[in-house]
Structure 1
């Protein structure tokens, strides 16, 4: 299968690297600093099971969105803030029968992308702990499973991913799964970013677990008001994140550490906006969103 990864950050490089390692032709579309290393040295894929370099002929890199041309599968991994603009940049080059699989935080990216593209777009829920440890070097800290929504291509894509050692589930309730992931992100991302602590150390802090419970309770109430069918045992899933990814820093924490804008507007910020629309109070989420935005603004003003 020919695969393109639009937005080759930590998530995109991990899944793209795993597919290339399994023998598929993969192009990683990302920033020049990563692409240059990938083109000359290959992608260093450091996981809990192996540490290898994956490169040509199966893995190449590009900074040009036109590199999606001919791909049967596009892993769409850009930040939620860039969904429409990135979709527009690949639109002229996409094969008519391509499946665009959104591997993004937030709950509405697939819907937003369908407003830009005519191709089949399917949402995926991502449970993986990864980071870019350096140019062309992705480090995997744990997990890696995907939950994808049904589409005409989903079964074939799921088989391809599973054969590349990527656990996959096709679910009729991806909306509920996306909201469940949103709740996990709302509980962990901002607190990890503000404290610059990994999940395992974060939850040991005084009052942290109680604060997380407040955030989760608001999100659950909002989901109920929005007629979202959540999976059972959300509280168990929240606790499990710290147990299965103790050394992981949230993507929001990684963004703030690099002085970059984060996706907080599409996480706790989304909860605040949706809560306002539906009349559901969200004070804990509002405070976390406000604090992260203040840190972002301070870093931006200092540049």
Structure 2
């Protein structure tokens, strides 16, 4: 199978590496630093106590998605519209496009700009990139994808490549469950620059998370979204399974990058306002992250 990864950051490189290891042809579309590093030493995957160099192709050109049998769209939620426009003319007429992005509406935005169906995917993986083209896996790795003409086949291919993949009719609810977990962890980890395990040892963090989750669930209920599972148990259990993980928002702020906070706590704040629901804890976290971003921007001037 020929697979293209559009926006090959930590998540895209991890799944690209797993698929390439299984014998699939993978092309990463990413930044020049990534392409240079791949050309120099392949894609480095550090996982399960071992490190290996995985052969993949890499390019900065959006035409790298041309001829793919499936496209994994992994760009930051903030860049969905721009990235979608630049690949639109290079996509085959029936190639499935999977949105492996944060947020509950990223696939909808991408679908609008592409003018074709997009399969939403909830991603559960802890990874980072200590250097260009070097992806380090910390835990998990499963996907839950929405239904589509090719979804069952994709799930089988991915599962055989070591990526547990499930097709769900309630992928919207699954995406909401992930959003709520992200709202509970990302901003707190980012502001403190602490990994999950250490963060949870601080007094009142679990209680604050309960307030965050309660606000999110109130918005979901008023939005007629069925969130599966016991969300609070999932939230509190995540730190135990990923104690050394820094949130993606924490990694963005540490590197001086724009975060996706507007698509996480910011989404809840906007939705709550439309519905006439109070979300003060999510609003406070949103403001804190924006202040850190503003400070970084001011320092660069």
TM-score normalised according to structure 1 size = 0.98
Q: How does 1:28-39 map to 2 (within 5 A)?
A: 28-39=28-39
Contact 1:4/1:27, CA 8 A, preserved across alignment = yes
1:87 partner SS: helix
Number of aligned residues? 300
Structure 1 position 26, deviation (Å): 0.4
Answer yes or no: is 1:262 the counterpart of 2:249. no
Please state if 1:210 is matched with 2:207: yes
1:120 Cα deviation after fit: 3.3
Secondary structure of the 1:248 match is coil
2:102 to 105, 111, 116: 105
Q: Distance in 2 between matches of 1:228 and 1:49?
A: 39
Query: Contact 1:104–1:126 at 8 Å: present in 2 too?
Result: yes
- Measure, in 2, the Cα distance between the counterparts of 1:241 and 1:5: 27
1:62 corresponds, among 39, 59, 64, to: 59
Q: Does 1:172 align with 2:188?
A: no
Structure 2 partner of 1:72: 69
2: CA distance, partners of 1:81 / 1:279 = 26
**The residue matched to 2:144 in structure 1 has which SS?**
strand
**1:183 and 2:177 matched:** no
Question: What TM-score, normalized by structure 2, do the two folds share?
Answer: 0.98
Q: Which runs of 5+ in 2 are unaligned?
A: none
Q: For structure 1, which runs of at least 5 residues remain unmatched after alignment?
A: none
Secondary structure of the corresponding residue to residue 169 of structure 2:
coil
Whether 1:10 and 2:10 are equivalent positions in the alignment is yes
Q: Report 1:199-278 matches (<5 A).
A: 199-278=196-275
How far apart in 2 are the matches of 1:50 and 1:217?
40
Return structure 1 stretches of 4+ with deviation > 6 angstroms. Answer: none
Asked if structure 2 preserves the Cα contact closer than 8 Å seen for 1:100 and 1:119, the reply is no
Residue aligned with 1:280, SS: coil
**1:138 equivalenced with 2:138 (yes/no):** no
**Deviation at residue 50 of structure 1 after TM alignment:** 3.1
Looking at structure 2, the residues matched to 66 and 249 of structure 1 have their Cα atoms a distance apart, in angstroms, of 33
1:157 corresponds in structure 2 to: 154
1:200 deviates by: 0.6
Q: Secondary structure at the match of 2:295?
A: helix
The alpha-carbon deviation at position 119 of structure 1 amounts to: 3.6
Q: CA deviation at 1:34?
A: 1.2
Contact 2:206 2:236 in 1 (8 A): no
CA contact (8 A) 1:214 1:284 kept: yes
1:117 to partner: Cα distance: 1.1
- How much does 1:18 deviate? 0.4
User: RMSD of the alignment, in Å?
Assistant: 0.8
Tell me the alpha carbon deviations over residues 133-190 of structure 1, each in whole angstroms, 9 at most, x when there is no partner. 1011000000000000000010111011001000011101000000000000000000
Distance in 2, matches of 1:100 and 1:133, equals 28
Q: Please give the alpha-carbon distance, in whole angstroms, between the structure 2 residues aligned to 1:63 and 1:18.
A: 21
